[in-house]
Chains A and B, each alone.
Chain A
Amino acid sequence: MKHVYTWGAILAVALASVIGDVLLAGAMKQVGDVHALWRRSGLGSVIARILTNPTFFLGVSAMAAAFFSLLFALSWGDVSLVGPAAASLTFIGNAFAAKIFLHEKVDRRRWIAALLVAAGVALLAG
């Protein structure tokens, strides 16, 4: 039963992280290249654009949810399992989500990268 809770919490962490990453990435694409924006209208306008973007705050909320799920996961499972498992699942989940929701061209090169990084992170726990 403990396993079920641990893996449930790990999945919750990964899901909330993926949602947060996708929302934040989407928000920053709406804001546009901050280097160009900064050069044109200054740092204040960059900050104002980010802080008036509703998607940005949804993303931050999802990240907060991920953080609290991580605390729950850590109270049931070992950090050496929870950390790498959640990070690996987040990498794979992000590759899918970025393709579907952000319309990024996740080509073979990027799939291989996501899988290699996810496997590498899992091995770091060993």
Chain B
Amino acid sequence: MTFRKYVVLAGVTVFAAAGDSMLSHGMKQTGNISIHHLSSVVLAVLNPWVAVGILLLLAFFGSYMNALSWADLTYVLPATSLGYVLLALVAKFALHEQVSPMRWMGIALISGGVGFVAGGPALTSHDHHRPHGSGGSDCRSSHVVGAASGGAEP
């Protein structure tokens, strides 16, 4: 794992959380959209919050694709679920909302799950054709780490 790859994972997390919050904020301003007035969806895009939200979600998609090009799906998903934790922390400390004990428990479980995968290798699938050999050494060294710390490596 290089520093750049951690930045990409952080991007996936932050862009998803920020994009969702902005969309949700904007959609509450525009009001309900019914099946019978689908044209209101077009109007919703004109709301600046919604527009920025969509841009952020596009940025999320870009970094998500980037991450999936060099890491396993079962590595990227838990690593990026930290976005839920981020949202709760923003709610607590920026918006001063009440975060219930149940939610803190949920946050603890997610963080624990992320800790579990973060210690292991990012890439395990031995791809039949990897046209661009780079990343191989990266992958090998993390395999060693995974095996040394008790991962079920063959």
Residue of A32, A108, A113 with most partner-chain B CB within 10 A? A113
| Prevailing SS type, chain B contact patch | helix
| Nearest-Cβ distance from residue B46 to partner chain A, whole angstroms | 20
A120 close to chain B: CB less than 8 A:
yes
Provide the residues of chain A in CB contact with B77, threshold 8 Å: 21, 91, 94, 114, 117
Q: Is the CB of A105 within 8 A of B124?
A: yes
Provide the residues of chain B in CB contact with A37, threshold 8 Å: 132
- Report the Cα distance A96→B145, complex, angstroms: 24
Nearest residue, chain A, Cβ from B64? A24
A121 close to chain B: CB less than 8 A:
yes
Number of A positions contacting B (CB below 8 A): 43
Q: Is the CB of A29 within 8 A of B116?
A: no
Within 8 A of B (CB), among A103-118: 103-110, 112-117
Nearest residue, chain B, Cβ from A63? B61
Nearest residue, chain A, Cβ from B104? A123
Provide the residues of chain A in CB contact with B74, threshold 8 Å: 94-95, 98-99, 104, 106, 110, 113-114
Provide the residues of chain A in CB contact with B116, threshold 8 Å: 109-110, 112-113, 116
B36 close to chain A: CB less than 8 A:
no
Q: Name 6 extra pairs, CB < 8 A, besides A28-B69, A95-B74, A119-B106.
A: A91-B77, A91-B81, A103-B126, A108-B151, A120-B106, A123-B102
